[in-house]
């Protein structure tokens, strides 16, 4: 049923367009395109909806970190968010020492303020931008949004303008995004804030006898650093910087892309990632690679160089329609069980480090699964 939703939406849009065309032509306008980023209107449709599905990986996380909607209506939710926003605006002042840091093609925000003070403001920030949080963990400094649609990608043609918001839900981009935010206490009184984006796209599936789209499947699409940059700039504004200054900092040229990681195999099963950087940089790059992959970071210990993670191998799902289709299904699947691993970063010198994968008991994961995880992380670090 889920795979037929997009063709059905397209069919309904066509019928409605034909039935209203005589009225629409009276007030037709020129075609325009909105280049902004807008997830707010997507928040108008919530609950058990196939277009806005639950993330089954996240659903296995500690339920204390889930934002419970309960039986509240969307209007009640928006009213609560608006009240929270206004309260914070009344007391919010700019934060000195806020800047964008760079390493090659990567950006992150550095703020001279403790992470516990920043966390609630960043949580409000995501809600103000139309997102619901599925991971909300102040103790680890990690939050993750639900899947949402960027409605600004829908062309604002004269038909959509004339119909207005009443039938707006018929239009669909066929794309979804989710964002992860991680706060790192780099030193006393200073916090590094990382925002990473993951995307999915709905693709048509055809059989060998026809080119018609008789079903659809959700698949992953490449990470979009520009979307991450947009929200870094918006967060800087939220924390008190002017829009012009925030955009200027984010738009500054990035550094050259240089090789940082190399997968090393010793023997049949022993493998690790060799990094041409000291511990601090290796720790940061490993964290970003985990955020952009299908890992869920449950906890971390920078002193010991350990990320405690969960990972779901798409091949373990037994679903030929793809991993993202599982994520976008409203039906729970007991076979979707994440395994726990330790990703360990060790310094091997002033300008070199190594990354290892261990099992939940802290023993070397010298298996095909361990090699697969290291390969995935290496690919992310090379991007």
Residues 263-316: tens digit of each pLDDT: 999 876 789 999 998 999 999 999 999 998 878 899 999 999 999 999 876 655
Q: Do 140 and 267 reside in the same domain of the chain? A: no
Q: Do 237 and 350 reside in the same domain of the chain? A: no
Q: Do 111 and 245 reside in the same domain of the chain? A: yes
Pair of tokens at residue 55: 């993330």
SS3 58: helix
CB burial of residue 330 (10 Å; 0-12, 13-18, 19+) = middle
Q: Do 268 and 248 reside in the same domain of the chain? A: no
β-pair partners for 190: 187
pLDDT digits (tens, 9 = 90+) for 5-55: 555 555 444 444 444 444 334 334 333 333 578 887 554 433 333 333 333
Residues 50, 330: Cα–Cα separation, whole Å:
7
Residues 237, 243: Cα–Cα separation, whole Å:
6
pLDDT for the residue 305: 96
Q: Do 64 and 166 reside in the same domain of the chain? A: yes
- Residue 131 contacts residue 146 (beta carbons within 8 Å): yes
Q: Of the candidates 200, 234, 255, which is a domain's last residue?
A: 255
Pair of tokens at residue 178: 């989710």
Q: Do 266 and 356 reside in the same domain of the chain? A: yes
Q: Do 299 and 343 reside in the same domain of the chain? A: yes
pLDDT for the residue 209: 73
Q: Please name the residues in contact with 59: beta carbons below 8 A apart, sequence gap of 6 or more.
A: 134, 332
Q: Do 221 and 267 reside in the same domain of the chain? A: no
β-pair partners for 346: 354
Q: Do 97 and 243 reside in the same domain of the chain? A: yes
Q: Do 152 and 199 reside in the same domain of the chain? A: yes
Q: Do 89 and 235 reside in the same domain of the chain? A: yes
> Along the 383 residues of the chain, how does pLDDT read in single tens digits?
444 455 555 544 444 444 444 433 433 433 333 357 888 755 443 333 333 333 333 333 332 223 333 334 445 545 554 555 454 443 344 577 899 998 877 899 999 999 999 999 999 999 999 999 999 999 999 999 999 988 887 766 555 555 555 455 566 788 999 999 999 998 889 999 999 999 999 888 877 777 777 788 888 888 888 999 999 999 999 999 999 999 999 988 776 666 678 999 987 678 999 999 899 999 999 999 999 887 889 999 999 999 999 987 665 544 444 555 555 554 444 345 678 999 999 999 888 999 999 999 999 998 888 998 999 999 888 77
pTM: 0.70
Domain of residue 341, residue span: 258-383
Instruction: Provide the number of structural domains found in the chain.
Output: 2
Q: Of the candidates 229, 255, 281, which is a domain's last residue?
A: 255
pLDDT for the residue 153: 78
> Domain containing 320 — which CATH number?
3.30.310.170
pLDDT for the residue 282: 93
Q: Do 223 and 329 reside in the same domain of the chain? A: no
Q: Please, what sign has the CA dihedral across residues 100, 101, 104, 105? A: negative
Q: Of the candidates 255, 287, 304, which is a domain's last residue?
A: 255
What is the strand order of the sheet 270-275 is part of?
261-266, 270-275, 352-359, 339-349, 306-311, 295-301
């Amino acid at each position: 049923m889920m795979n037929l939703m997009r063709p059905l939406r397209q069919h309904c849009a066509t019928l409605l367009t034909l039935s209203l065309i005589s009225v629409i032509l009276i007030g037709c306008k020129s075609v325009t395109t909105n280049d902004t980023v807008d997830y707010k209107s997507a928040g108008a449709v919530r609950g058990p909806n196939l277009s806005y599905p639950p993330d089954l990986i996240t659903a296995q996380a500690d339920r204390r970190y889930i934002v419970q909607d309960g039986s509240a209506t969307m209007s009640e939710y928006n009213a609560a968010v608006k009240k929270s926003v206004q309260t914070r605006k009344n007391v919010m002042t700019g934060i000195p020492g806020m800047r964008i840091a760079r390493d090659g093609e990567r950006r992150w925000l550095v703020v001279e303020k403790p992470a516990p003070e920043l966390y609630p403001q960043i949580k409000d920030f995501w809600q103000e931008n139309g997102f619901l949080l599925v991971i909300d963990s102040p103790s680890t400094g990690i939050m993750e949004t639900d899947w949402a649609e960027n409605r600004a990608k829908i062309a604002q043609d004269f038909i959509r303008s004339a119909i207005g918001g009443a039938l707006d839900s018929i239009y669909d981009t066929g794309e979804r995004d989710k964002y992860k935010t991680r706060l790192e206490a780099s030193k006393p009184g200073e916090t590094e804030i990382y925002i990473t984006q993951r995307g999915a796209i709905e693709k048509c599936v055809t059989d060998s006898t026809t080119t018609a789209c008789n079903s659809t499947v959700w698949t992953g699409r490449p990470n979009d650093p520009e979307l991450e940059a947009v929200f870094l700039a918006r967060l800087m504004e939220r924390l008190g910087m002017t829009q012009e200054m925030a955009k200027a900092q984010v738009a500054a040229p990035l550094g050259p892309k240089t090789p940082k990681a190399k997968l090393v195999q010793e023997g049949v099963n022993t493998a690790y990632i060799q990094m041409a950087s000291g511990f601090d940089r290796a720790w940061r790059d490993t964290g970003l690679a985990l955020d952009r992959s299908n890992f869920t970071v449950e906890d971390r210990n920078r002193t010991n160089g350990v990320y405690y993670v969960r990972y779901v191998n798409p091949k373990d799902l037994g679903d030929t329609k793809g991993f993202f289709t599982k994520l976008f299904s409203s039906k729970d699947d007991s076979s979707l069980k994440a395994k726990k691993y330790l990703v360990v970063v060790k310094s091997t010198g002033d300008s070199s480090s190594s990354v290892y994968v261990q099992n939940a008991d802290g023993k070397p994961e010298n298996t095909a699964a361990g090699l697969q995880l290291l390969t995935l992380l290496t690919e992310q670090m090379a991007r």
